[in-house]
Amino acid sequence: MKMKVLEKTSNELKIEIEGEGHTFCNVLQKTLLEDDTVEMAGYNIAHPLVSNPIVYLRTKGRRKPETALQDAAEKIRERSTVLRVTFEKALKEWQRK
**pLDDT for position 78:** 97
In this predicted model, what pLDDT tens digit does every residue of 53-90 receive, in sequence order? 999 999 999 999 999 999 999 999 999 999 999 999 99
CATH for 88: 3.30.1360.10
DSSP state of 13: E
Answer yes or no: are the C-beta atoms of 5 and 13 closer than 8 Å: yes
- Could you give the number of structural domains in the chain? 1
Q: For residue 76, what are the contacts with CB-CB under 8 A and spacing of at least 6?
A: 27, 28, 31
Cα-based distances in Å from 37 to 18, 63, 74, 90: 26, 7, 16, 36
> From CA 44, how far away is CA 16, in angstroms rounded?
10
Radius of gyration of the chain (CA): 16
In this predicted model, what pLDDT tens digit does every residue of 41-57 receive, in sequence order? 999 999 878 899 999 99
> From CA 68, how far away is CA 62, in angstroms rounded?
11
